[in-house]
Structure 1
Amino acid sequence: MLDIVIEARKASLAPGMDVRRILPFRLRRMVGPFIFMDHAGPVHAAPAASHTMDVLPHPHIGLSTVSYLFGGQVTHRDSLGVEQIIRPGEVNWMTAGSGIAHSERFEDPAALAGGTLEMIQTWVALPEKQEEAAPAFNNYKPEQLPIVTDTGVWMRLIAGDAYGLRNEVKTHSPMFYLHAVLEQGAKITLPTEHTERGVYVAKGTIEVAGRNYTLGQMLVFDKNAEPVIVAKEPTTLMLLGGEPLGERYIWWNFVSSRKERIEQAKADWKEGRILLPPTDNQEFVPLPEDKSKPAGNPSPQALS
């Protein structure tokens, strides 16, 4: 059965960079290990204004950030010294673990021309035993990500396993994450091997059990459901989920199974103990004013 429908809310990461925020939601904080999901774009910005959209260096702990683009390009820099341009169809997988800082900059004005910049960013919580793992970064090219096709259906496995597909993207717990494109009238079902499963409508309209759902909505299904998803028009979906990890606390860009660890991360960022990217260290996002304790929803300034 359908467990819940999540309506995306508007959030702002930087001037000109508004996003649809799907997770966490007050009635559903996580789907499998996924604890955060933003959908940015298509961004209609003048090329000259691209620098105002930059996400300045900021910290993370206790999670992996996963960046996936439909269009445009973004330059990633982090405190490991990595500098990586991510392009459509690639996966940037950054594991924060014990602590990392990174920036995301829009340095190619041509990438913004015609409203082509569009991206999905998620955070995947780490199992408790790996929350303090050493930070790491990997970029995976499209040819490393298997594709499956059927009548009117194209799907790319971003990470995990589903529909008999697997790839070399390094994950830390059982999960699945796919990009699916459906022609009008095409049908799919969700993978059955995972406990928690969701489908996010990034473009178009789908019908499930006689009801229509459209852009900005995520449908989360319980374990025993076997929904048939029908595209009412050309549609783009993100399918995701996996096994639950247990309770997590989230504040700003920090995720942990322990409240006291988030308090330590606040102090570490404020005192400069989380290093800035060596090639992007002239500015950064300061620690927001703390008006609440770690809870189910991130600060409005949450960044990816």
Structure 2
Amino acid sequence: MIELIIPQRRRDLGAFEVGRVLPYAKRRMVGPYVFFDRMGPKDIAPGLPREADVRPHPHIGLSTITYLYKGEITHRDSLGIEQAIRPGEVNWMTAGRGITHSERFERLRSEGGPFDGLQLWVALPEEREEIDPGFWHYPSEVLPAFDGDGIAGRMIAGRLAGVESPVQVDSPQFYVHWQLRAGARASLPPEYSERAVYIASGRVEADGRAVESGNMVVFAPGKAVTIAALTDAEVMALGGEPVGTRYVDWNFVSSSKERIDQARADWAAGRMKLPDLDSGEFIPLPPKLGEAPEPMS
């Protein structure tokens, strides 16, 4: 049964558009997933300006997952790691008690080409919010892949239907990339209490309703769900178990409002900045949002 359909909200960043899906006013999280952004699609000409890069910025209390369909991004962080990500690979960064990172479009700047991908944030369980930061890169060949009955794809993170990704997660969850040929049917089992699918391209039918690309379908718990491809389609399935109320302010996620206030103060005072990270061109701290960050659960 469909609980909610969430349309992506497009924002023009100049070089390309981003489609924000989560958080949404009527549904702030799906399982531990607190943020879902579609980057692109966009054909980028050589000479992309430096302003298109995501300058160094901080995070606490979450992990980021970057997964591309097309193009390439270069990740750099305050742990000293520099890593390019290409289609089908996974960059997993855990902020924990605090990390600073940037994302650069070095190859697209020099060569141009198509760009399309996703970035998600996963809220860490309360007992792991202050763990040491870390970064892991997973090439596509280590991710479980499947191809049969009109369905191809990868298990990106977590576990679903007995298939488990080597990507290390901190709470029960799943994140899957399905490529469906027209007429194919994929089943989403009821093993997690919160589940959703995002239609990246094409058109599908879920619970008797046609769903166009750019929409996320959130399902009620308790029953298996069948996704039928009305055309060739790219579908991302995700979900898991909730981790409790979270506060989100700018790039900070925490179960504690006071912890977010501390992170804001640390960034403003320069305690999370490293001068050798991308020449110190850091994103400034935005104004505080009201009296307190908005709770999400």
TM-score by length of 2: 0.95
- Unaligned 5+ runs, structure 1: 298-304
Letter in 1 for 2:262: Q
CA separation in 1, counterparts of 2:19 and 2:111? 18
**What is the Cα deviation at residue 248 of structure 1?**
0.4
1:91 maps to 90
Give per-residue Cα distances to partners, 1:140-163, cap 9 Å, x unaligned.
Answer: 011110012221101200010012
Query: Contact between 1:80 and 1:277, CA under 8 Å: does it hold in 2?
Result: no
Give the Å deviation of 1:192. Answer: 2.4
The match for 1:225 is 223
Whole-Å Cα distance in 2 between the matches of residues 53 and 34 of structure 1?
26
Going from structure 1 to structure 2, the CA distance change for 1:11 and 1:276 (only over 3 Å counts) comes to: farther
> How far did 1:17 drift?
3.1
Aligned to 2:2: 2
CA shift for structure 1 position 110: 6.6
Match of 1:51 in 2: 50
Report the aligned-residue RMSD: 1.6
Structure 2 contact 72–108 (Cα < 8 Å) conserved: no
Deviations 1:187-241 (A, max 9, x none): 0111322111000000000012332101111011111132211111110011000
5 Å-filtered alignment, 1:81-120, equals 81-109=80-108, 113-114=112-113, 116-120=114-118
Q: Which range moved further: 191-200 or 243-252?
A: 191-200
Deviation for aligned residue 1:42: 1.2
What does 1:1-304 correspond to in 2, within 5 Å?
Answer: 1-12=1-12, 14-109=13-108, 113-114=112-113, 116-276=114-274, 278-292=276-290, 293-296=292-295
Measure the CA separation in 1 of the matches of 2:163 and 2:110: 31
- TM-score, length basis structure 1: 0.93
Q: State the SS of the aligned residue for 1:269.
A: helix
For the 8 Å contact 2:196–2:239, the answer to whether it is kept is yes
Structure 1 residues 143, 251: closer, same or farther in 2, change over 3 A? same
Residue identity in the other structure for 1:257: S
Shift of 1:168: 1.6
How far does residue 278 in structure 1 lie from its aligned partner after superposition?
A: 3.3
- Which digits, 9 at most, give the CA deviation of each residue in 1:116-163, with x for residues without a partner? 211100000000000000000000011110012221101200010012
Relative to 1, partners in 2 of residues 1:122 and 1:83: Cα closer, same or farther, differing over 3 Å?
A: same
Structure 1: distance between partners of 2:280 and 2:60: 22
Tell me the alpha carbon deviations over residues 18-67 of structure 1, each in whole angstroms, 9 at most, x when there is no partner.
Answer: 20000001110000000000001112332212423100000000000000
**Separation in 2, partners of 1:23, 1:296:** 14
Gaps of 5+ in 2: none
Q: Where do 4+ consecutive residues of structure 1 move more than 4 Å?
A: none
Q: Distance in 2 between matches of 1:277 and 1:122?
A: 27
Match in the other structure for 1:300: none
Task: Among all aligned residue pairs of Structure 1 and Structure 2, give the percentage whose two residues are the same amino acid.
Answer: 49
Query: Residues 124 and 277 of structure 1: is their aligned pair in 2 closer, same or farther, counting only changes over 3 Å?
Result: farther
